Amino acid sequence: MTFVRSTTARLAGAMTLLASSVLGVAVATAPAANAAPTWAPAATAEITPGVQMYTEGAQCTGNFVFTDSANNVYVGYAAHCAGMGAATDTNGCLNESVPLGTTVTFNKGGSLVSEGTQVGSGTLAYSSWRTMRALGLSTDSNECAYNDFALVKVSEADKGKVNPSIPFWGGPTGIDTDGTAAGDRVWSYGNSSLRGGVTALSPKTGISLGDNAADGGWSHPLYTLTPGVPGDSGSAFVSAGGKAVGTLSTLGLAPLPLSNNIGDLAKELAFAQAHSGIAGLTLVNGTEPFDPIL
């Protein structure tokens, strides 16, 4: 099992990825409320699900948009995207990550030779890996193995560039709380820099292999027509009706080669709501209707 993050600054291994840890919980003090977000039009928004996100040279893909009770805006990605370890370091309670407050940029057109054009910035506001370490969770728990979720707070200057709709597909329309059964169809949008800016390969559809009973429903293995690759880490996955079901975490090497594993968003978000210190943390539905098209 290996993570699905791309690191342009460390291209000696084109499939270099991530690892992250849990060294602190976000401070629970809620800031004064800002004005309610006004979403940019979906057609022209520069920060959406699927945006490329760079953390100290490592590239991942944004999944969903979230808000809190103070009207701050967040974009989710994988906790390992802020990691400092190797691709084989997959246990969130054993690995180091960059500190909260680290700058993360939102980019377009990133490739193996360039990070493309920066369209906005934010700061790491929550990492499940850092939080689990701070809580002292058992390293053999399902959370440590599969809870791979982080939030980047969008800067005030860039909030007006955000739209919560998933490109190509639309949605999300809510949260899928009952997982997936084998054969259920899923939809995703990845944006790896390894594709050299060929966005036609970003929309994906695939088939779930069902819930993993051994991990308590924390992850869902699946196949997509083109598998997620390094740089797609964090990508949004939705189930029937456009319900947000998961976030891309790892590329499976065995026993199911070229499969992917997604973390269960309902569980990841509930954990963040309980432990991040971010009051009123909520998924934002897309302004565009979900349309499976293909």
Residue 207 lies in a domain: yes
CATH of the domain at 127: 2.40.10.120
Residue 44 lies in a domain: no
Residue 248 lies in a domain: yes
Residue 217 lies in a domain: yes
Residue 226 lies in a domain: yes
Residue 255 lies in a domain: yes
How does pLDDT run across 134-160, given as a tens digit for each residue?
A: 999 999 999 999 999 999 999 999 999
pLDDT for 159 equals: 98
Which of 27-41, 118-132, 211-225, 228-242 is predicted with the least confidence, judged by mean pLDDT?
Answer: 27-41
Q: Which of 16, 293, 5, 37 lies closest to 159 in space, CA to CA?
A: 37
- Domain containing 245 equals 1-23+49-287
- CA–CA separation, 40 vs 197, rounded Å? 23
Q: What is the mean pLDDT of residues 43-55?
A: 97
Cis? peptide before 172, omega within 30° of 0? yes
Residue 292 lies in a domain: no
pLDDT for 32 equals: 58
Which of 8-12, 17-21, 32-36, 161-165 is predicted with the least confidence, judged by mean pLDDT?
Answer: 17-21
- pTM of the predicted structure, to 2 decimals: 0.88
Q: Which amino acid is at 80?
A: H
Cβ density class 102-135: b for 16+ within 10 Å, e for less: bebbbbbebbeeebbeebbbbebbbbbbbbbbbe
Quickly state the pLDDT bin for 229 (edges 50, 70, 90): confident
Residue 267 lies in a domain: yes
In terms of average pLDDT, the best of 20-29, 84-93, 116-125, 221-230 is 116-125
pLDDT for 200 equals: 78
How many structural domains are present in the chain? Answer: 1
